[in-house]
Amino acid sequence: MASGGESSKVPEDADPWKVPDFTKDDNPSGVVCESSFAMLFPKYREKYLKEVWPLVKKTLGEHGVEAELDVIEGSMIVKTTKQMWDPYIIIKARDLIKLLSRSVPFEQAARILEDDIACDIIKIGGMVRRKDRFVKRRQRLVGPNGATLKAMEILTDCYVLVQGNTVSTLGPYRGLKQVRKIVEDCMNNIHPIYHIKTMMIKRELAKDPELKDENWERFLPKLVNKNISKRKQPRVKRTKGEYNPFPPAPPKSKIDTELETGEYFLKEVDKRKRKRKEQA
């Protein structure tokens, strides 16, 4: 309550869940404890990291975080300094070097320093046992010419990168949850197109004020599992034939056939003449 019995007025268009920006004036004394994080990177990322590392140092330096690149050990290190005022920015810096090690370009990885942006590294390597099946399902996430991946990024407002045994995502928290659901279901043999269709329908239904508060189940596509288990299939009754104690007769050889037709006793000249007549 404000002084004089007047209540503080909140604007109608204000978002009550939005976290206010944390500035340097909110913590002028800085942080007391020192923290550091290190992250290893593969050999093929060394050339790219050398090129963009001045930008990484400059970006993190604006927030009071020191960054080091150790090419000999193949690691990236971020440390807190006395000029750092945001205590959570060191966690954001750790996520930044984690994304850089997973082949995410710096232009996208730098978005992690924003307050409403988070990241998620989804490990898909152990979800499928067979290698060929794993490669096929991982390719489903990308789609023909990257169409499935692009549709996923547009609908979830996230950046998605499929690399090796992981899927790196970067975006708002709600979008990260949707991307994880799509990736895990894809590895469990559910095509991403079902989720993409569902999100597209929900987006259109949300625009209609009459259907905004109704149940949307009748509009959403239903997944039909066509893989019927062999245990649930009805058994086919086999009809038994008449019992025969004698085994079937062996197939006739060429000599037996010639003996039956009498061709076995003919001379070679007569055999040739007979074949010529049959051919004629």
Over residues 213-227, the pLDDT tens digits come to 777 666 676 766 665
Measured CA to CA, the distance from residue 178 to residue 176 in angstroms comes to: 5
Domains of the chain, CATH where assigned:
25-115 (3.30.1370.10), 116-223 (3.30.1370.10)
Measured CA to CA, the distance from residue 36 to residue 93 in angstroms comes to: 10
pLDDT band of residue 95 (cuts 50, 70, 90) is very high
Least confident stretch, 12-26, 159-173, 229-243: 229-243
Measured CA to CA, the distance from residue 255 to residue 130 in angstroms comes to: 52
Which residues, including other chains, have CB under 8 Å from residue 130's CB and lie 6 or more apart?
none
Flag whether pLDDT at 275 surpasses 60: yes
Chain mean pLDDT for the chain = 84
Flag whether pLDDT at 37 surpasses 90: yes
Flag whether pLDDT at 164 surpasses 90: no
Residue 275's φ and ψ, nearest 5 degrees, are -65, -35
Percent of the chain with pLDDT over 70: 88
Measured CA to CA, the distance from residue 220 to residue 271 in angstroms comes to: 78
Task: Give residue 176's pLDDT.
Answer: 93
Task: Give residue 11's pLDDT.
Answer: 65
